[in-house]
Amino acid sequence: MKQVILVRKDLKMSKGKMAAQVAHASLAAYKVALKRDEKRVKKWEREGAKKVVLYVADEKELFEMKERLRGIPKQVVIDAGKTQIAPGTVTCMGVGPWDDEAIDRITGHLKLVS
């Protein structure tokens, strides 16, 4: 079980901004998954609530991933535009928590944020 956050690399967000956006995505996707399958989410919590943050190149790739992740709970984050990013900018997407294999089949080729 894992949760994955996909972050747009092209936005070149500061570390702090990225951390805030990833936190928004994690919580938002968690809420979606909890409504969909509470037992699965509780299993993820018991297993340590693993999270992985990965880069996508840009908004186009993020939405391609969204389409390919059909059937897995997810939530796109849109920035309010109060700091570094223009209002309405899609910054990232939280995926899951869900089964590792289902997520990895689609996101396994993406690079870790480091």
Q: What is the Cα–Cα distance from 23 to 15, expressed in whole angstroms?
A: 12
**Which residues constitute the domain of residue 55?**
2-107
Q: What is the Cα–Cα distance from 3 to 16, expressed in whole angstroms?
A: 20
Judge whether 114 lies within some domain: no
- pTM of the full predicted structure? 0.96
Per-residue pLDDT of the chain (114 residues; tens, 9 = 90+): 999 999 999 999 999 999 999 999 999 999 999 999 999 999 999 999 999 999 999 999 999 999 999 999 999 999 999 899 999 999 999 999 999 999 999 999 999 999
Domain count, the chain: 1
Judge whether 113 lies within some domain: no
Judge whether 60 lies within some domain: yes
Judge whether 33 lies within some domain: yes
Which one-letter amino acid corresponds to residue 43?
K
Q: What is the Cα–Cα distance from 95 to 51, expressed in whole angstroms?
A: 10
